[in-house]
Amino acid sequence: MTNRSPRLSVIIPCFNVEGYIPETVASCVNNARDDFEFLFVEDRSTKDHTYEALLELTKRLPNSRVIRHERNGGLATARNTGIDAADGCYLTFLDGDDWLAPGYLADLVDRIERLDVDFVRTDHVQVTGVNRMVHRAPEGRRHTPLDPRTSILPVDDTTMVDYPYAWAGVYHRRLLDRGMLRFHDGLRTAEDRPWIWELHRRAESYAVASLRGVFYRRGVASSLTQIGDVRQLDFFRSFDLVLAELADDPEADRLRKKALRNYCVVIAHQLLQRDRFERNVAAELRRRAAEVLGRMTEEQLNEALLGMGEERVQVLRRIRGGMKGVAA
């Protein structure tokens, strides 16, 4: 790399992904440029030789570094380690079991430079086994600068805060200088939730680009979303952080309705999937869900659950008790 700062830093947390990392690194090789750097954060893998594989594979990837944690810290902390080490004008993320289309990173940088916004979000391709499906970012206005706040509401529709994937976009370093972009250390699931809410509340500009160069694997056995242990319950902390950080927002009353609906949707999803949890974790899930729902007023619950669907409303009604009159 030349002495000048890189244009783009790509931050790639890796944990127990030895079987996938060759494809991930190869896709980075196909995106390499003299002014791009690649930061692999090895989060002390426990079941395979991810670290050793990274050391060997990255020999053919220019401007790459492998940073190893002394102890496992989780995805949020691994991303923060990468952010702290990054020198780029722009930052983006990639998970260690996902991959990129050739030339995607150059297109990403081109979009944010031409639009001159704080951040750009993109579509992505979801990969489940041999099946691929395009997932579009929920904002319909494309390739034009927008006020991030205008993409939070309405409450009862899917919006950009319901599309929290950090790897589906690129972010200007000035966000970091303004106290944004870092994740809450220690969060092992739903780490993107408070992060995306802060961006849409506090950033000044953003845009959505119709790029589909990120390939996101679903159903990976080692993924935390497939594991029913206590780490899954970190979503409670994530949404509590969203609500706490909304307290001083000038539009707190309006935005809280959206955050509470998000919270209820995720609680219902986890309760409906509770059979995959260890027994003690399932019991803790029910207890904490009842506590969260119990803190909401009937009015707040009615607004949050309106139109959510009979199955989800019923499971939440059973956990809290009562909630008569809530429309499905």
pLDDT score at 286? 95
SS3 state at 188: coil
pTM > 0.75: yes or no: yes
pLDDT score at 1? 47
Cβ-Cβ contacts under 8 Å for 289 (sequence gap 6 or more): 267, 270, 271, 316, 319
Residue 224 has pLDDT above 50, yes or no: no
Please tell me which residue, 303 or 90, carries the higher pLDDT value: 90
Residue 74 has pLDDT above 90, yes or no: yes
Tens-place pLDDT, residues 128-152: 999 999 999 999 999 999 999 999 9
Residue percentage of the chain with pLDDT more than 90: 88
Residue 118: phi and psi, rounded to 5, are -70, -35
Reported confidence tier of residue 321, pLDDT bands at 50, 70, 90: confident
Cβ-Cβ contacts under 8 Å for 149 (sequence gap 6 or more): 200, 201, 251
Kindly provide the residue ranges of all beta strands, DSSP E only, lying in the chain, ordered along the sequence. Answer: 8-14, 36-42, 64-68, 90-93, 99-100, 119-122, 124-128, 131-135, 169-172, 206-209, 214-217
What's the CA dihedral at 257, 258, 262, 264 to 10 degrees?
20
Contact 7, 35 (CB under 8 A): yes
Average of pLDDT values for 169-188?
A: 96
Residue 118 has pLDDT above 80, yes or no: yes
Q: Which of 35-39, 81-85, 186-190, 196-200 has the lowest mean pLDDT?
A: 186-190
pLDDT score at 219? 79
